[in-house]
Structure 1
Amino acid sequence: MREIFLTELAAEVLGPREGINEIISSSPLNEYITGVLAPIAGKAAPDIDSEAEIPLEDTQVYGEEAEEDAVPFFSPALDPKKRPPSMGISFMVKSVTKPRVKVCLTWSRYMMENKEGNAIWMREPRFSIQDLDINQTQTILLGSDGKNTTQDQAEISLHVITHPEDSSHWFVSLYLVNRIPVPQENIKNDRITAEYYIFQPQIRLSCSEGTQVIPGRKIFQAGKDKELEFLYRDRSVLARGHMCSAMWKEIDPERIPVSVEVDFPECLRKIPFSWCDGELLDENERELFCPADLRTEFVPVYAVLGADFRWPAEYGAAPDFRADVLAETWDPDKLKSNLSLLADGYERWIERMEELIDSTPEQYKEIAQNMIKKCYLILKRIKNGINILYVDENARIAFCFANKAIDLQHRWMYDEGLGWYPFQLAFILMAVEPTVNPSSEHRKTCDLLWIPTGGGKTEAYLAITAFTIGYRRRRSQIKGIHDRTGVGISVLTRYTLRLLTIQQFRRTLALVTACEYLRVHNIQNGNQVGWRPESCRISDNFLWGSAQFTAGMWVGGK
């Protein structure tokens, strides 16, 4: 189904929906919301070239009085409702001689006609292929036939901006600009209609022999930037889009391997998996630019593979990750023995990563060593959590309670018990010591799970929620503790999207309902009210307090 969603999305927001010669009954300005270039209309916006991830030594600035070969850049932050007049792509090339590339530009215009008293808009596709030396800055003016022309006849202009790095490396930016002339009366009356806009523009690049696109020069920043650069060192960025995204062969959805099975193969003949304007080219030209070495894209698609949650055998015996088993493991020795398998496996993984430092490139070694130190800190926190569960009876029963609650609500929803992934259980154990110890040094640390949507973040957060409210109820019964009830607001959650807020609140309600169900467990018998593991010998009545577990939502603007 995913390929259907993607093709429908691309057709809806970018187009064309009905092929390269489509006819639509309403203005394309109302139909398509991306991939639209406004005419310059005598105005130029500030330069945004400094945003490039592949940085330049210097940045050119183009003001209001831009020269003919200057590119009118535009920042959406200045006016989010205004469409940009240009789009482009920046990249680095290597060549022992003059760098040469073939560039294919495609774009379209929608021309309005009157048919039987009704306005229709007909798409007119264009293309141009340029064989360029990109060792120098230049501007090419192109007409509706894709051929070089004069400024007053130009529909678009291609700007090649080159910055030599050394004798064999060049940083290059290619920009496509809407040059369609607009009558002055239209500008004065603010009546620039769809005919003056460029739709679905694209730049495609194919390197000639001896010219190669290479990863851009990196400028290391401090802290997190250096760590991210290290982590993604094998995922090179070959280009940066301006007012669009950049694609290259390794990540191009137009290059889906034949071995990949899809549910709806017909979708592979539609955007964004297919190049619709490629129909304008002959077969040889089409093969040259599809897939392209580099290209621009307004609806980028990138495949993120699902995480592998299996326990690797080389890291030793796996712990029992079943939540219902953990809920009933009251014996401290058995619980510690089981959870220590997780810590031991993680420690073996760290040691294996540590062995790889010697073979790490010199510029990354310090970063790698610092990250190993952080891993050992996480390991220490996991072990501290296990030790607290071993010695602190209230923390241990709160841990059992949390596992029981999360397993119970999971059974209500899926009719089967929950099994933790290693990262989830490790994250829960990390949170034990800061939750239990009011003076913990880690209370000021914001711990986050970083994993794609659907990986199981919410379950781990909910388990910590259940552990926290359960532990507060048990802690309130300890003599000398000022909080004698354990009630009140215990956990705050905040979401930025309305739909996400509703969805996550429902999941929170399911957990809180399970907690309340466990709180009043055995109430019909009148003694030892409140769930506890079968082997637990704590005889307190109303083990989890006499006040309800509740959840609420605050909805408001300010």
Structure 2
Amino acid sequence: MRDKLIEEMLKEVYGPRKGAEEEISGDPLKEYITGVIIPQRCRKVEENPDSEITISMGENFLADDDIIDNEFMVPTPSELDPKMRPRSFGVSFVVRGIKPSFRICVTWGRYVRDQGKDGKIWRRRPYYCITKQISVTEKTKKFQLYERDDGKISLLIRKIQRNDEYSIIVVNMVNDLNIEKCHGKALTEASIFQPSIRIKLGNDTQLAPLPYHRKGGEILHFLYRKKPV
């Protein structure tokens, strides 16, 4: 019973409720309150304290929370604004070895306005991309998951070498789709819904616990010493 309730709750707030190619009458941006990535060009405009209006600033605009690494931007979620949707989605993990390798499967959906039997509807289009074996030897890599006339969806992979034994891998999915007005129908059609990132490590790569070096790390290491990664 509990599992069923959790499943229904996820469908309600995250979606999709009616399958991979669902059709809904309401705007998905209002129907689903989580699991949405808006284009990274959209920025908040503070016209008043209750404003939820965003604006497209163009591809050359950088906010204070954006990091430039090897000529492309890696957004970080430091805009502490509960009303602003995220512009990227990702996962990080620690591996042993200097040259980690893995494959990545990324899935997501987009909604387009269409004509249904009983009037206008929003139709979901599912997408996926499975990479070949990736060997991370340099600090940063970039892959295009989607590239068409309406823009790009990028996958950014960063390696942070801690020492000769451990590396931290950061994988980010970034919405680089084109948009002029960041509100209404245009924002819904340029947003990414229900993104997921799955990673399969190579045979020569092992997942590892995060090396502790901060105060209190020894206590956490002791508490979780028998917990599998």
The normalised TM-score by structure 1 is 0.35
Residue in structure 2 matched with residue 26 of structure 1 by the alignment = 26
Which segments of 5 or more consecutive residues in structure 2 lack a partner in the other structure?
A: 42-57
C-alpha change, 1:229 and 1:213, in structure 2 (3 Å) is closer
CA distance in 1, matches of 2:126, 2:107: 7
CA distance in 1, matches of 2:105, 2:125: 17
Residue in structure 2 matched with residue 232 of structure 1 by the alignment = 224
Which segments of 5 or more consecutive residues in structure 1 lack a partner in the other structure?
A: 48-60, 144-148, 239-558
Matched, 1:202 2:196: yes
Q: Secondary structure at the match of 2:193?
A: strand
C-alpha change, 1:159 and 1:123, in structure 2 (3 Å) is same
CA distance in 1, matches of 2:197, 2:63: 21
Q: Secondary structure at the match of 2:163?
A: coil
Amino acid at match of 1:219: H
CA distance in 2, matches of 1:24, 1:120: 6
Indicate if the aligned counterparts of 1:45 and 1:75 stay in contact, CA closer than 8 A. no
Residue in structure 2 matched with residue 180 of structure 1 by the alignment = 177
CA distance in 2, matches of 1:88, 1:113: 30
The normalised TM-score by structure 2 is 0.80
Cα offset, 1:67, TM superposition: 7.2
RMSD: 2.5
C-alpha change, 1:153 and 1:167, in structure 2 (3 Å) is farther
C-alpha change, 1:173 and 1:210, in structure 2 (3 Å) is same
Indicate if the aligned counterparts of 1:158 and 1:174 stay in contact, CA closer than 8 A. yes
Residue in structure 2 matched with residue 71 of structure 1 by the alignment = 74
Cα offset, 1:68, TM superposition: 5.0
Greater Cα radius of gyration, structure 1 or 2:
1
Amino acid at match of 1:232: Y
Residue in structure 2 matched with residue 84 of structure 1 by the alignment = 86
Amino acid at match of 1:39: P
Indicate if the aligned counterparts of 1:69 and 1:138 stay in contact, CA closer than 8 A. no
Indicate if the aligned counterparts of 1:142 and 1:154 stay in contact, CA closer than 8 A. no
CA distance in 1, matches of 2:76, 2:70: 13
C-alpha change, 1:113 and 1:106, in structure 2 (3 Å) is same
CA distance in 1, matches of 2:64, 2:9: 31
Aligned residues: 208
Q: Secondary structure at the match of 2:197?
A: strand
Deviations 1:423-458 (A, max 9, x none): xxxxxxxxxxxxxxxxxxxxxxxxxxxxxxxxxxxx
Spell out the pairing of 1:300-311 with structure 2 (5 A cutoff).
none
Spell out the pairing of 1:12-23 with structure 2 (5 A cutoff).
12-23=12-23
Indicate if the aligned counterparts of 1:44 and 1:72 stay in contact, CA closer than 8 A. no
Tell me the percent identity.
35
Cα offset, 1:170, TM superposition: 1.8
Residue in structure 2 matched with residue 163 of structure 1 by the alignment = 160
CA distance in 2, matches of 1:205, 1:5: 28
CA distance in 2, matches of 1:117, 1:193: 24
Residue in structure 1 matched with residue 36 of structure 2 by the alignment = 36
CA distance in 1, matches of 2:5, 2:126: 25
C-alpha change, 1:226 and 1:100, in structure 2 (3 Å) is closer
* Residue 208 (structure 2) aligned to one of 211, 214, 226: 214
Indicate if the aligned counterparts of 1:46 and 1:75 stay in contact, CA closer than 8 A. no
Cα offset, 1:100, TM superposition: 1.2
Indicate if the aligned counterparts of 1:135 and 1:170 stay in contact, CA closer than 8 A. no
Q: Secondary structure at the match of 1:90?
A: strand
Cα offset, 1:75, TM superposition: 2.8
Deviations 1:177-231 (A, max 9, x none): 111111x3x24xx444310100011111001111111111112315xx6544432
Matched, 1:135 2:137: yes
CA distance in 2, matches of 1:233, 1:45: 40
- Report which structure shows greater RCO (CA 8 Å, sep ≥6): 2
When you count helix as a share of all residues, which structure comes out higher? 1
**4+ runs of 1 displaced by more than 4 Å?**
43-47
